[in-house]
Chain A
């Protein structure tokens, strides 16, 4: 039954990657990238249970933190054009 869950997550990954390739704006691609990260964590857990080694969940926890930081930093880069942005230099934002 974990094979069914793994197949479902793989189908969802394929659909999400379709959106990441097609998506007209950069925000669609970012949203798809974030969902790919979520689905990769679920795939790690499910395949870990499928092969009888659930220790892969540690990697999933690390990847969850990286996913948050990655998406937020790309968003900040697209908003300000700079990662080390000085908020006082640009009034009104």
Chain B
């Protein structure tokens, strides 16, 4: 006997399409089961796998192990209308908005400033409200192949009203419970310590939801500090964080998290971080992009021309903590 589920309240926010069967079909039709080499340049990976209008996720950019070089490449290529899952993000949203790349934001946390403020007030950018944990829970649901996930947080907040959440009566306990839509992003950008050419990837240290994002996303671009042999992966399978068949592109990008830290390998460029935070807070993001992104053809030219060997060496030397960051 069918009974209708009781919806007690619902948010009015638009949310990314929920379609677990569509996602399964995407996996069936597009994800490579065979071990095929996926090594390519950042330029090629972004050209092939990031389309205008895509929903993208990443995390900790410009802080630690963020996919900073991939995001700069997206900005160089001038991608449009991206919907950004801004969980545990920082200055990158301002960079993407100033560059005209982003038009929708699901917000957990990001560094607000005049650039995003103006874009929101002029209607160029729309914000939907969540929290960091609700966003990672949504991605978890996407990574489980489910349409939604119940959460014990978020209920009663004003964010709820501007999100895709619903409050329902739990058919098992009879108590009210918040449910949020699963998130299957179009693109995940993930920077890792080590990967082989097929995309088997290792991540050392803490993170937010990179592994879930890799599983939940239609297209996955891995950038890696180091390419390792598959034999090396097979010698220690317990530390493979992301399996090859989720991955669409592997990009070898040493210092790919610059100016953020890569735990165990290099410390952050503190001056650069302070500069970009200042630019975000004061609204000088255009100047920042001109200086650090548009002036170089790619990541390597930026490292050569603007950062330099001396700075990189100094960052490497300051990364004195190694425990936990080596296989």
A binds B: no
